[in-house]
Amino acid sequence: MLELKNLACGYDSKPVLQDIEFKVEDKEFVGIIGPNGSGKTTLLRAITRVLKPSKGAVFLNGKNIWQMRFKDLARYVAVVPQNFGGVDMSVEDFVLLGRIPYLERLQFFESKMDLFIAERCLSLTDTLKLKGKLMSEISGGESQLVLIARALAQEPKLLLLDEPTAHLDITHQVSILDLIKRLNKELGLTVVMVLHDLNLASEYCQRLVLINEGRIYKTGTPQEVLSYKIIEEVYKTVVVVEKNPVSSKPYVVLVSQEEKEKRGK
């Protein structure tokens, strides 16, 4: 599916990422984690062809993405961006933007098929009721869902998400991640997701890629990656890793300075 080979990448000759090498198989659900400024978003931008790698390459089904046509890439990979300034556009029009990769140069109107697909994507993300509203009128959680609907309208095989749960309350966090999980299971979408929250990453992802200072620190199942040793080393923070009593996945518990001092005594 997706393969990164010996990738190095950065801005204006200042390298951010180095020696990045990993593979994502079909229908996998992969989380990318790491501290702020470790290069997670840069990695995503390298996969979506926003940044040209200075070394190595990104392959989709064996094809170098820099040799693919722009439209072909957009039909294969869809991106759900992190932050999003409101636009003056109805929700339906916004989701229809996801059909752009399928429009011909001289086609000025979307076909019935395009409208049908947009409608289906809205109902898949449970946002059909927002159809006529303006993007600037809806809440943060809703706009995140609409962003996912637009990405689905591209009918991708690979879905990339940049912190889809940032700035959302727990209700929306869980409902969005549940939705992505469902898309992964039912539609067979391959998912690669940047996540900040280690516990959400542990709970939802099959495999985690931990990035630190521009290099891959460790990849593996949540159990393999989320050990207290690794986290303390990478995040420079004292933590305790427990087991989630329900799912028995690793659960990271923070320890405050005050508690540490109490225990120290």
Question: Could you give the 3-state DSSP secondary structure of residue 191?
Answer: strand
State the minimum distance, in angstroms, from the CB of residue 24 to another protein.
Answer: 18
State the minimum distance, in angstroms, from the CB of residue 7 to another protein.
Answer: 17
Q: Which residues bind another protein (CB under 8 A)?
A: 11-12, 45, 48-51, 70-75, 77-79, 81, 84-89, 93, 97-98, 100-101, 103, 105-106, 108-110, 112, 115, 154
State the minimum distance, in angstroms, from the CB of residue 58 to another protein.
Answer: 14
Question: Could you give the 3-state DSSP secondary structure of residue 180?
Answer: helix
CA dist., res. 113 & res. 67, Å (int): 29
Torsion of CA 85, 9, 37, 260, to 10 degrees: 150
Which CB, 87 or 255, lies closer to another protein?
A: 87
Q: Which of 168, 169, 161 is nearest to 204 (CA)?
A: 161
Which CB, 77 or 183, lies closer to another protein?
A: 77
State the minimum distance, in angstroms, from the CB of residue 64 to another protein.
Answer: 17
Which CB, 79 or 130, lies closer to another protein?
A: 79
Bridge partners (DSSP) listed for residue 250: 243
Which CB, 115 or 128, lies closer to another protein?
A: 115
CA dist., res. 224 & res. 52, Å (int): 31
